[in-house]
Structure 1
């Protein structure tokens, strides 16, 4: 049973998340020939303030990050 875990910044629409789950499932079926109903996809959403890029929380403004 393939299990696909994805971590992403929160804020995407339900439609976008459904499309991602569908696309990942399709890719897993194509790549592994596993039965579609055996594929599991877990989306874990993280607040932007908890996601760091270049040493700065993604949700921080330039001023808060000390770059301005």
Structure 2
């Protein structure tokens, strides 16, 4: 039962996330021999004010 968690900045459409989930599922089937119905893909949208890189919030970057 593979569980794949994707955290990324918010802003992608439902269509984009659906395509991403399908691509991840396909990769797990092809490369790990997993069964599609056993794969869980969880996508968490993170606000830019809750994500920092290099000590700077993404919401404060130009």
How does the TM-score come out when normalised to structure 1? 0.84
Structure having the larger proportion of residues in helix: 2
- Give unpaired runs (5+ residues) of structure 1: 63-68
- Give unpaired runs (5+ residues) of structure 2: none
State the number of aligned residues.
62
Higher relative contact order (CA 8 A, sep 6+): 2
Root mean square deviation of aligned Cα? 1.1
Moved over 3 A (4+): none
Larger Rg: 1
